[in-house]
């Protein structure tokens, strides 16, 4: 994924004016960056966290644009802020999920196998496409990490990270249900 394509094309003078405290420039910069931040969050956050990640990112842009040292690093900075927001929200959901694991196991023990299949299918469908793809290849097609990396043109590390994140998202979905 490229780093926030539209944010990269923001007028450097707009970024500089916002950095120096021009309120109109800051509002314009936030409006220009919002669609790209949303696209990034939709691709890298859980569906339930997209709005929160966008809001956190834009709020940090509002508060901290003045600390930006170089105008040319705006898109990389904004990309990093959005990435950290997604990861923070995922960690928060995972911590909550781990605390209620016993409840989930008890609930799943009472469900019929068909109900479990339906819940799991819905959880997989709720994943962003790039996470769903690796889970299906690994857990349904039973491909190895190397085979998945070859099919998708990714590194082993990327495949492992996507599988890990996808499983966390599935677990969170099942706990929430």
Residue 5 has pLDDT above 50, yes or no: no
Cα dihedral sign, 133-138-139-142: positive
Say what the pTM is. Answer: 0.53
- pLDDT at site 133: 95
Task: Report whether 36 contacts 85 (CB < 8 A).
Answer: no
- pLDDT at site 3: 41
Residues 6+ apart with CB under 8 A from 135: 124, 127, 163, 166, 167, 170
Residues 6+ apart with CB under 8 A from 65: 15, 18, 19, 26, 29
Residue 158 has pLDDT above 90, yes or no: yes
Using one digit for the tens of pLDDT, what is the confidence trace for 24-71?
999 999 999 999 999 988 888 887 888 899 999 999 888 888 888 888
Using one digit for the tens of pLDDT, what is the confidence trace for 117-147?
888 898 899 899 999 999 999 998 899 999 9
Domains with residue ranges and CATH for the chain: 5-95 (1.10.1740.10), 101-176 (1.10.10.10)
């Amino acid at each position: 994924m490229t780093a926030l394509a539209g944010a990269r094309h923001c007028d450097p003078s707009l970024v500089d004016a916002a950095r120096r405290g021009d309120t109109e420039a800051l509002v314009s910069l936030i409006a220009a960056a919002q669609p790209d931040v949303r696209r990034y969050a939709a691709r890298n956050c859980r569906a339930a966290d997209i709005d929160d990640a966008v809001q956190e990112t834009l709020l940090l842009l509002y508060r901290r644009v003045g600390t930006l040292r170089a105008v040319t690093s705006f898109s990389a900075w904004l990309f990093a802020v959005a990435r950290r927001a997604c990861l923070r929200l995922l960690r928060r959901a995972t911590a909550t999920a781990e605390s209620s694991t016993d409840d989930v196991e008890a609930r799943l023990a009472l469900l019929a196998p068909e109900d479990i299949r339906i819940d799991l299918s819905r959880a997989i469908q709720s994943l962003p496409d790039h996470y769903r793809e690796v889970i299906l290849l690994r857990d349904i097609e039973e491909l190895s990490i190397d085979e998945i990396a070859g099919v998708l043109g990714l590194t082993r590390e990327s495949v492992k990270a996507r599988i890990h994140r996808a499983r966390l998202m599935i677990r969170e979905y099942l706990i929430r249900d």
